[in-house]
Amino acid sequence: MNSPNSTTISCVQYSWASNSLGQNPCDIAERLNSVCSTSNGSYFVELTSDDEYTLSSEDQNPCLCTSVVYNLVSMCRLCQTEDGKIYPTWSQWTANCSSLNAGFPLGLPGGTAVPDWAYQDVSGTDAFNETLAADVATTDHSESSSSTSPSSTSTTSPTSSSVGVPSDKGNRTAIIVGGVIGGLVGLALLAVVILFFIRRRKHSRMAPSAAYLEAHRSKEDTASRGRYVPVDGSKADVKWLPLSLGGG
């Protein structure tokens, strides 16, 4: 249902600029202005190719002096004719504003929805970018309503569907990598244990130790001390006497 001061402007191009309710940028801007204006008439009227929207000090209000309404007004001007692109810059539109607001912080009215392209940040460029708006509108059909109104403006750029990998896929990858690393560490520890036992077994098959040899030599020395060995190395002189068998 249209609000009392809803515009009846028709757009001849940029059909992607309309919201899911079929409301064009002119209609959406008019509905947002109704939050601050008590007038029953339409602020945005149909323009010719030589006209443009302006905002005087008498007409300015907290709703019109927002970047969202400025973007909608710019697209409202563009969609009405194919003869040219005539719309003010951000600084021209807000020249008579007593205060500026990014986004639409007053809260969106019911019965409408604001496409995401209308939240384009114009503070740096000082102008609405219809090319960027078209990219956002054709890649992301998100919009804000009275229950999901963004609190501030944001510069939106198109992103591919591959951006933003699901977290569960990242978790599975981490688990796989962790399992591989854990397996390699386990194999390394097993190799160390096997090497330790191999070296120990080789050590047990080695020649007798120095202590064993020393003990063996001590036993040999003790055995040799039990034998008689002349000091001078000479043999005893033994004389054999004839055995006397007779009486003489």
Q: Are 132 and 21 members of one domain?
A: yes
pLDDT in tens, the chain (248 residues): 345 556 788 899 999 999 999 999 999 999 999 999 877 667 888 888 778 888 999 999 999 999 999 999 999 999 998 877 788 999 999 999 999 988 898 889 999 999 999 999 998 999 999 999 999 999 988 999 886 644 443 333 333 333 333 444 455 556 676 777 877 887 888 888 788 778 777 655 555 555 455 555 555 554 444 444 455 544 445 444 454 445 54
**Inside any domain, residue 244:** no
Q: Are 176 and 140 members of one domain?
A: no
**Inside any domain, residue 161:** no
**Inside any domain, residue 10:** no
**Inside any domain, residue 63:** yes
Q: Are 128 and 26 members of one domain?
A: yes
Count: domains in the chain: 2
- 109, two tokens: 């009215």
Q: Are 109 and 37 members of one domain?
A: yes
Q: Are 178 and 59 members of one domain?
A: no
Q: Are 119 and 183 members of one domain?
A: no
Q: Are 96 and 183 members of one domain?
A: no
Alpha-carbon gap, residue 98 to 62, rounded angstroms: 8
Q: Are 26 and 75 members of one domain?
A: yes
From residue 12, alpha-carbon distances to 45, 105, 129 in Å are 15, 31, 19
pLDDT of residue 115: 96
Q: Are strands 143-144 and 114-115 parallel, antiparallel or unpaired?
A: antiparallel
**Inside any domain, residue 223:** no
Q: Are 202 and 110 members of one domain?
A: no
Q: Are 70 and 188 members of one domain?
A: no
Which phi and psi angles does 143 have, rounded to 5°?
Answer: -155, 165
Residue 177: give the domain boundaries: 168-209
**Inside any domain, residue 205:** yes
**Inside any domain, residue 130:** yes
**Inside any domain, residue 110:** yes
Q: Are 78 and 188 members of one domain?
A: no
